[in-house]
Structure 1
């Protein structure tokens, strides 16, 4: 004799299935949403992207207030590159545009592509550290043995002085980690070809 399914059990199974599907969808959506959240709030030391530094007229009241910025770089996931900052710490005036360089060199016999993640410490400074130009905005491809200089153009937003949690920060560390990209996008990074020439022009 065939048992008749209990309608309550069927409804419970349907609800459980719907919840599972909703959780899967949320998991896929959470990554881009989390990135947007970090960009807007500076959460986790995420830096900001900007079009230009503040106008010179708006900086007169800062009286040359400076912050020391240190730089760190490394590679992860077996990417066969050497990657490091090209200079030591620099003292930057709040609100003024600055340019520094990182060096990358491929140790591979084949072309390789990497993508850089980034953050600043202390985390409270993340929302005030704005990058105008950066190799981290795109994937970067190096040819066998290629060595490049990659500039970063940035400024520290004067609004940091109005934040009770950040106004007393006198040192910031900018860190990058390059990871291998298994399937590079069709559009190469800005510094992927002729990187040294671009860096020289940026100077």
Structure 2
């Protein structure tokens, strides 16, 4: 029979096990919440999974080899019309290019959304780099307004020497706009109290 004496070795061991288990639970819970933003950051830094990387400056080298860049525009649960103003561009590897997208808010109120993006083929994600893009921040479009959104990009010259990409002549840059969490919360009808 164990006592409530704090010096009891069995009680101390049980308290220690409970503290370790509780700490482990909170570490795993925090890891679960942090995993999505950390994975997204990792993909942006490495180009993994077709994720485009953000660049600070254009490369100093432009090659004669060209790649056709195609543009894809989508919306998911956002009352917007979103289109690419050009379906494709011929780009020299290392050359800085600008592409334009157009967004029209077809609703009667301002809507805030954020674009996610990826590149196909997946291996090109490490070399497709953006200098300026609307996808890095939330975009709020007034009711009925149309906004033009530029993307300034280049394909890193190392694309031409990588065994996984050097023979690929087509790249597709795809965007999808999603409502932000704050916008979704504002759009949801208020929950009614069950008692009423």
TM-score (norm 1): 0.80
Q: SS at 2:43's partner residue?
A: helix
Identify the residue that residue 196 of structure 1 maps to in structure 2: none
Identify the residue that residue 30 of structure 1 maps to in structure 2: 35
Identify the residue that residue 21 of structure 2 maps to in structure 1: 16
* Alignment deviations for residues 123-181 of structure 1 (CA, whole Å, 9 cap, x no partner): 11001001111111221111111012211111100011222222222111101111112
Number of positions where the alignment pairs a residue of Structure 1 with one of Structure 2: 177
User: Once structures 1 and 2 are overlaid, which stretch shifts more, 151-160 or 164-173?
Assistant: 164-173
Identify the residue that residue 195 of structure 1 maps to in structure 2: none
Q: SS at 1:101's partner residue?
A: strand
Identify the residue that residue 67 of structure 1 maps to in structure 2: 67
Identify the residue that residue 194 of structure 1 maps to in structure 2: none
Q: Which runs of 5 or more structure 2 residues have no equivalent in the other structure? A: 5-9, 184-196
Q: SS at 1:24's partner residue?
A: helix
Q: CA deviation at 1:182?
A: 4.3
Q: CA deviation at 1:12?
A: 3.1
State the structure with more CA Rg.
2
User: Once structures 1 and 2 are overlaid, which stretch shifts more, 94-103 or 5-14?
Assistant: 5-14
C-alpha RMSD of the superposition: 1.9
Q: Is residue 2:88 matched to residue 1:89? A: yes
Q: Conserved in 1, the CA contact under 8 Å of 2:131 and 2:153?
A: yes
Q: SS at 2:182's partner residue?
A: coil
Work out the CA distance in 1 between the residues paired with 2:3 and 2:51.
Answer: 57
